[in-house]
Amino acid sequence: MKYEQVKYIKDDKEKMIQVRLYSIAQLEEMEQEGEFYCPFKNCKAKVCLVHNSKNGGRTAFFKAVDDAFHIENCDYKIDNYKEVVKRVNASGYFTEEQITASVRSLYKDYTMPIEEKEEQKNKRKRKNGKGKGTAEDNENATTRKTTSSGRIIYGDETIDGIKGIMRRRYQVTSNDIGQMTKVCGVISKIERSKYGEMFVSFKDQRLNNIKIFIGPVYQTNNPTEYSRLGIVEEYYETLAKKQEVRLAAGGLVNFHNKELVIELQAKGSFMIEGKTIMGLIRDRTVNEK
């Protein structure tokens, strides 16, 4: 039985947590300071953190300490459990290449001068006899063509077999939770948690309620980039002294520590001044030679 969420009790205070929003280090620390329980209502069965032996403990999951301690009608009791298809974005599944292409397209559209956009639009009109819109307008079709292969980052191809479309949002609200979304704006601040997670805030008033979150999901998918996030901080701090620093990013809208975030998953889901995190790493490597 896989627990997507668990109940956490510390100092007689109870809260429900989404497991995927916490790193293994965070969960281990929480387990030392409190106790985890089954999330089913009124169930008092304890659950414990178990490291996955299939990948050398790189990931972990929760399991019941003793299945017999679940209450009789608990959905998590083995005898009562019925497999439920995991809910995914209604638009389908998303691959590494798709997310990267989508974020790159957004950054290009966001930074392209208006005159150049108009010129490209007119060229398409002359060629096709009708307007096709900007690069951003065409991104849906481009995305469909560039997602024929590659690692699936979010969703399950076996459920509906449909490739998703990452929607651009000029403003993100709680109604977008669970949706794959992309945004672009000017960075106001980059912060790191004591666990190494990165949070990016925007200057744009329309985006002041959302943060870009690079955490355990990104770490699992992209360990090299995650281990070098300090390069992103340094790049931003240096550039911000001279100019506004623009960021395009795309991921899953969710809550983290009571804040609305876009949680990044894919390697190319973060583009700062036209550079991915891996691009910044390569630049640093060249400069150090």
Mean pLDDT of 103-129: 78
Does residue 248 carry a pLDDT above 90? yes
pLDDT digits (tens, 9 = 90+) for 78-93: 776 554 333 434 457 8
Give me the mean pLDDT over the 211-236 stretch. 95
Model confidence over 159-186: pLDDT tens digits? 455 777 888 888 898 888 888 999 999 9
C-alpha to C-alpha distance for 5 and 24, rounded to whole angstroms: 14
Q: Give the domain ranges of the chain.
A: 5-80, 94-288
pTM: 0.62
Residue 145's contacts (CB-CB under 8 Å, 6 or more residues apart) are none
Q: Is the pLDDT of residue 140 over 70?
A: no
User: Is pLDDT at 55 greater than 80 in this prediction?
Assistant: no
Average of per-residue pLDDT across 191-209: 93
Percent of the chain with pLDDT over 90: 45
| Mean pLDDT for the stretch of residues 23-43 | 91
pLDDT of 132 above 70: no
Q: What is the CATH number of domain 94-288?
A: 2.40.50.140
pLDDT at residue number 34: 95
The mean pLDDT of 236-248, rounded to a whole number, is 96
Task: Please report which confidence band the pLDDT of residue 111 belongs to, taking 50, 70 and 90 as the band edges.
Answer: confident
CA dihedral 169, 155, 256, 65 (to 10 degrees): 170
Per-chain mean pLDDT for the chain: 82
